[in-house]
Amino acid sequence: MKMLYIVIMIYFRSYTNKSLWKIFVPVILLVLLNFYFIPGIAHAGVFAASRKAGPYLVGIQIDKNPPIIGENNIEIEIKDAMGRIISDASVMVNYYMPPMPRMVPMNYRTYATFRGGRYRTSMNLIMEGPWYIAVKVNLAGKTSTAKFHIDVR
């Protein structure tokens, strides 16, 4: 912020036209307000990662990057060794925060449903900090797990 103030002051000391000042200041204020008060601007795209889970490749996409406190939609793509999408598995998402002294454990589960080539569900992250996501794929009586780490803001 201080650097922006210095740049503005240097720029306007070289000009004496007061009408420029009347136009420039409101424009800068609107730009700054957009960056500080509209939360959608702070999220660039999606968070994506992939891990191996037994014989499967599990890829996740979270609709916010970085994930935020509150509702975050997660899409999961599961492929076999041949690269074919697995559509008949039971997929459970276990998201939890590492244990901390004097705090109640935060450990949540949700089941994902297959729609549009991916498994979809949502997670309600209730606190900032490190979280772990364990995607458990159950197919033909065998369970494989892929673990991911996210940092909630």
133 belongs to a structural domain = yes
Burial code (b: 16+ CB inside 10 Å, e: under 16) for 59-79 equals bbbbbbbebbeeebebbbbbe
- The verdict on residue 95 lying in a domain is yes
For residues 51-77, give the mean pLDDT: 97
Q: Specify whether 11 is located in the same domain as 51.
A: no
Residues 33 and 104 in one domain: no
Cβ contacts of 8 within 8 Å, gap of 6 or more: 24, 28
For 102, list phi and psi in degrees, rounded to 5: 60, 25
Query: What is the end-to-end Cα distance of the chain in Å, rounded?
Result: 21
Q: What is the pLDDT of residues 84-107, one digit of tens each?
A: 999 999 999 999 999 889 988 999
The answer to whether the predicted template modeling score (pTM) of the entire model surpasses 0.85 is: no
Domain that holds residue 9: 2-37
